[in-house]
Structure 1
Amino acid sequence: MSEGSRRTVTFQAPRTVEVVSDSVPDPGAGEVRVRTLMTAVSPGTERLLYQGDAPSTLQADTEIDSLSGDLEFPLTYGYSAVGRVEKCGTGVAHRWTGQRVFAFQPHTSHFITTPAQLIPLPEEVSVADGAMIPNVETAVNLVMDGRPMMGERVAVFGQGVVGLLTTALLSRHPVACYTIEPLSARRRLSAEWGADRSFDPAEDWDLLLDVLNVSASASQIENNDFEGADLVYELTGTPSVLDDAISVTGFDGRVVIGSWYGKKDASLQLGGRFHRSRIQLKSSQVSTVDPNYQGRWTKSRRMSVVLNVLASLQPGDLVTESRPVEEAPSIYRRLDMKEQKILQPVFRYK
């Protein structure tokens, strides 16, 4: 072990987070040590972890080596780190030293990995933009899974970070994109990031139904004369909203579920129009590529799309809280309280 102190965010128990210190490790043969500059918090997922609402027996992520364990406490988590390679083990090319990189790693000030697990970041890419790579990848995956077609009506429930980025990517397609979000500040952001119109679900529901040409008369239900949205995304993390998403979806429409509900149940009303609607419900999670695409698409190809849109998308603009990692417990408490002004927190490391 080398001299120095490594700081790691650790979920010790429900609603108990500590920043734990230990020695900074040295890289072995074929490995590098990265000194972290910034890690991004996944607000929805990490709120679930903090609250103890994530299934403890579920593997954190089978596709990410650094998250190979389950979600039993105590655990470390996080999958978005930007840093610089500060030391190379034997057998690693010296050109890696000093290289700014992205890696799927938990919230920690130093980590050991191999060059194959790193994505070099050009200096013109800001640290904040680099830290948002997983959120952009998730949005790219959601759009791919939804398969938007020219002229379709698309509704996106939830304008958190992933919802906003999904809206921004959908706005690059020739579709009508409508968003549904209860927080006024996020509705304003939604318009800035490409929504044709953003609705308050409490105040504007009837207006949304009119815009989507949704009708629920008995004769129209019987004849499937119900336009509605062609494609709907449920990205709120709130199980009850899935029923609302289904209710505005038209005949043979698609509902893409990007939320992770953890242990929370989703109660759905499927005995009425849904029974004859041929609506498709699809789970979407970024760890894998849709099997229908796997003949031509790999995770590496999808990541190349992410890196290509970073400069024009500038997702780092969505960061609202940039705090020293020592303040992690406070950030999770504020997420738990659903403090409205927290959209995207990141941790900084000295």
Structure 2
Amino acid sequence: MSRALVVDRPGAHRLVERAVPEPGPGEVVVRVAAAGICMSDREVYDGHRDAAYVRYPVTPGHEWSGTVEAVGEGVDPALTGRKTVAEGFRACGACERCRCGETSLCSSGYAETGFTEPGAFADHVTLPARLLHPLNDDADLPAAALLEPAAVIAAAVRAGRPRPGERVAVVGAGTLGLLAVQLLAASSPAELTVIDPRAARGEQALRFGASQAAAPAEADALSGRFDLVVETAGAATTAASSCLLARRGGRVVLTGMFTPGAIGIDPVHLSLSQLEVRSVFGAPSSAWSDAVRAFGLGLLDPAPLITHEFPLERFADAIALVGGGDPKTGKVLLRP
């Protein structure tokens, strides 16, 4: 039997048992080793996610790792037994955006594992084999569950084009921010500053490779200093404040998921400063490849971000921790 957690509607979940799935043509069945819970999952559970980006009932789980257990017709049987992660977006691969390599902008309609398709809060997850990114045989699977947010950050780093010797700032020291510190540190910046109100997160950022940690109250003194600013917090003010941190002609990449009511970017400052501003939603295949490669090389180590692990049966306890405000809570995993 195979268990799966199903959210029937906001606030209502159940653990179901069913037969172990069989892969169809072009598909694989993966035995889930670990699945991370993020704020998007909390939004699904609370009913706060935009209706266009979720389909109830749903088995959540878009950050995960596991081992290929079975392959369908047309899939290389050598994948069986391989440790792996996989892209979440079910891009069509045929539209203009996909053909240009922008698979996170697929124009055939939104479909994503854990939101509109069954996800990894389960013993098994079934998905197209073309989405897999196999890992090294010695890969740490619980740590690898964080490669989905790492791929988002890899997309942000690609967009930001860091160059050796530049001054770089990361706004926010949550999961995305701390992963950004690791990847950006590999670009040999002259300065890597992290801005977050939580002193403990700032200290962790220093251990991850940042050269300085500052509170938002100190940010005014840093205005106009940075060649590249990577925003990861998604707070109401951080899109606007990140632009103020950038030097004239600098680059700003927004990765946080903003909600209605967030403060907009001042167009006067934007035009006079000649800023380059990019945003990131999810990650294309190329960014996934970057993240998996960095993980395999040891440039990216998400393991220290994990603070809690729960079995599927304790989903209610796990989801309550996410977004609960405890500064000691980092990444929360489900371990089927």
> What TM-score comes out, normalization by structure 1 length?
0.77
Structure 1 equivalent of residue 168 of structure 2 = 154
C-alpha separation in 2, matches of 1:243 and 1:29: 47
Q: Structure 1 residue 179: deviation in Å? A: 0.6
Q: Structure 1 residue 51: deviation in Å? A: 3.3
Contact 1:228 1:248 survives alignment (8 Å) = yes
1:233 aligned counterpart, secondary structure: strand
Structure 2 equivalent of residue 77 of structure 1 = 60
1:325 aligns with 2:312: yes
C-alpha separation in 1, matches of 2:69 and 2:220: 55
- Structure ID, larger Rg: 1
Q: Structure 1 residue 315: deviation in Å? A: 1.6
Structure 1 equivalent of residue 192 of structure 2 = 177
Please give the residue correspondences for 1:225-236 in structure 2 after superposition, counting only pairs within 5 Å: 227-236=224-233
Per-residue Cα deviation, 1:239-271 (whole angstroms, up to 9, x for no partner): 22222222222222222110112x432123626
C-alpha separation in 1, matches of 2:291 and 2:269: 38
Per-residue Cα deviation, 1:128-179 (whole angstroms, up to 9, x for no partner): 2322221222221111111123432222111111111111111122321111
Q: How many pairs does the alignment contain? A: 302
| Structure 1 runs not aligned, ≥5 long | 59-70, 215-226, 289-298
The 4+ residue runs of structure 1 with deviation greater than 6 A are none
Which amino acid letter does the alignment assign opposite residue 185 of structure 2?
S
Provide closer, same or farther for how the CA distance between residues 332 and 92 of structure 1 changes in structure 2, counting only shifts above 3 A.
Answer: same
| Structure 2 runs not aligned, ≥5 long | 88-112, 114-118
Structure 2 equivalent of residue 220 of structure 1 = none
Which of 241, 250, 254 is the equivalent residue of 2:251? Answer: 254
C-alpha separation in 1, matches of 2:13 and 2:328: 21
Tell me the C-alpha RMSD between the 2 structures: 2.5
Structure 2 equivalent of residue 345 of structure 1 = 332
Please give the residue correspondences for 1:30-49 in structure 2 after superposition, counting only pairs within 5 Å: 30-41=26-37, 43-49=38-44
C-alpha separation in 2, matches of 1:98 and 1:271: 53
Please give the residue correspondences for 1:1-350 in structure 2 after superposition, counting only pairs within 5 Å: 4=1, 6-41=2-37, 43-58=38-53, 71-89=54-72, 94-104=77-87, 105=113, 106-107=119-120, 108-175=122-189, 176-202=191-217, 205=218, 208-210=219-221, 212=222, 214=223, 227-261=224-258, 263-268=259-264, 270=266, 273-288=269-284, 299-300=285-286, 302-311=287-296, 312=298, 313-349=300-336
Which amino acid letter does the alignment assign opposite residue 322 of structure 1?
E
2:182 aligned counterpart, secondary structure: helix
After alignment, is 154-163 or 46-55 more displaced?
A: 46-55
Contact 2:133 2:292 survives alignment (8 Å) = no
C-alpha separation in 1, matches of 2:290 and 2:267: 40
Per-residue Cα deviation, 1:298-320 (whole angstroms, up to 9, x for no partner): x25x4333232214122223211
Contact 2:153 2:176 survives alignment (8 Å) = yes
2:251 aligned counterpart, secondary structure: strand
1:320 aligned counterpart, secondary structure: strand
C-alpha separation in 1, matches of 2:75 and 2:265: 57
Which amino acid letter does the alignment assign opposite residue 177 of structure 1?
L
Provide closer, same or farther for how the CA distance between residues 238 and 11 of structure 1 changes in structure 2, counting only shifts above 3 A.
Answer: farther
C-alpha separation in 2, matches of 1:336 and 1:47: 8
Provide closer, same or farther for how the CA distance between residues 336 and 50 of structure 1 changes in structure 2, counting only shifts above 3 A.
Answer: farther
Which amino acid letter does the alignment assign opposite residue 149 of structure 1?
R
Q: Structure 1 residue 110: deviation in Å? A: 1.3
C-alpha separation in 1, matches of 2:73 and 2:274: 58
Q: Structure 1 residue 341: deviation in Å? A: 1.8
Q: Structure 1 residue 209: deviation in Å? A: 3.6
Identity of aligned residues (%): 26
Provide closer, same or farther for how the CA distance between residues 23 and 141 of structure 1 changes in structure 2, counting only shifts above 3 A.
Answer: same
2:125 aligned counterpart, secondary structure: strand
Which amino acid letter does the alignment assign opposite residue 235 of structure 1?
T
Q: Structure 1 residue 126: deviation in Å? A: 1.0
Which amino acid letter does the alignment assign opposite residue 50 of structure 1?
Y
